[in-house]
């Protein structure tokens, strides 16, 4: 049985989401497998003299079962992980493919759904990190909820980054303000957040 291992986290990093894809990816293969078996039984029961129709139905059922097994293995080995610092995806049975991005590098997250996916509460997320094309995380369950949780984690990470910059005792007040300004220029904190933190630091002088 394929197990689920907890990703290695940093000292202050907390796990927020650990999700697999929506099980809709197994609906098609499962339908084919069940239909093939029932069709073979039906052909046998009505007494068709030729065995080839029944064998053809059994072959379709077997094909569906193998397809279902492949999809199940893909489902069990694909994960989407959100922590207080990173968004990560991994997939693969023998060869693993990993992708991760720091929350401070995410510019935008868009969600797309077909009509069927809306009924099934499934969909895709596109994560924009400022590159030529966004990273697509496909077949997620409750995509809008996950999108909102990522945005909340990004907001919390922004506050934490600013707080860490202020709490660095090895830096002088002007140096801490400079670090905050670097965060503002990178878009990690907004102008208003920078002004508030700067005022708090100046009050310490």
Asked if 62 and 68 touch (Cβ cutoff 8 Å), the reply is: no
Model pLDDT, residue 197: 79
Domain borders along the chain are 15-151, 167-204
Segment 9-21 shows an average pLDDT of 85
Phi-psi region of 96 (alpha: psi -120 to 50; beta: other; left: phi over 0): beta
* Residue, of 65 and 11, whose pLDDT is higher: 65
Percent of the chain with pLDDT over 70: 84
- The reply to whether the predicted model has a pTM over 0.75 is no
Residue 80 confidence (pLDDT) = 93
b/e per residue, 102-135, with b = 16+ CB within 10 A?
A: ebbbbeebeeebeeebeebebbbbebeeeeeebb
Distance of CA 52 to the CA centre of its chain: 45
Q: What is the crossing angle of helices 52-76 and 27-45, to 10°?
A: 160
**In CATH, what number does 15-151 get?**
2.30.29
- What's the chain's average pLDDT? 83
Q: How far apart are CA 44 and CA 12, in angstroms?
A: 63
pLDDT per residue as tens digits for the range 80-136: 999 988 999 998 877 788 899 988 888 889 999 999 999 999 999 999 987 767 899
What integer is the mean pLDDT of 2-31?
Answer: 81
Mean pLDDT on 63-87: 92
């Amino acid at each position: 049985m394929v197990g689920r291992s907890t990703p290695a986290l940093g000292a202050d990093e907390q796990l927020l989401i650990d999700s697999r894809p929506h099980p809709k990816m197994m609906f098609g293969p499962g339908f084919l497998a069940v239909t093939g078996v029932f069709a073979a039984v039906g052909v046998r029961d009505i007494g068709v003299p030729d065995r080839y129709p029944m064998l053809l139905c059994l072959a379709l059922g077997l094909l569906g079962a193998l397809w279902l097994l492949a999809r199940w293995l893909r489902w069990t080995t694909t994960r989407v992980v959100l922590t207080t610092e990173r968004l990560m995806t991994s997939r693969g049975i023998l060869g693993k493919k990993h992708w991760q991005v720091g929350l401070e590098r995410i510019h935008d997250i868009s969600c797309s759904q077909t009509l069927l996916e809306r009924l099934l509460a499934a969909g895709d997320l596109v994560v924009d990190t400022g590159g030529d094309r966004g990273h697509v995380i496909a077949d997620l369950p409750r995509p809008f909820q996950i999108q909102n949780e990522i945005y909340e984690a990004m907001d919390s990470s922004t506050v934490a980054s600013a707080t860490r910059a202020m709490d660095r005792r090895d830096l002088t007040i002007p140096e801490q303000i400079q670090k905050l300004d670097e965060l503002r220029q990178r878009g990690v904190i907004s102008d208003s957040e920078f002004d508030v933190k700067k005022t708090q630091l100046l009050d310490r002088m």
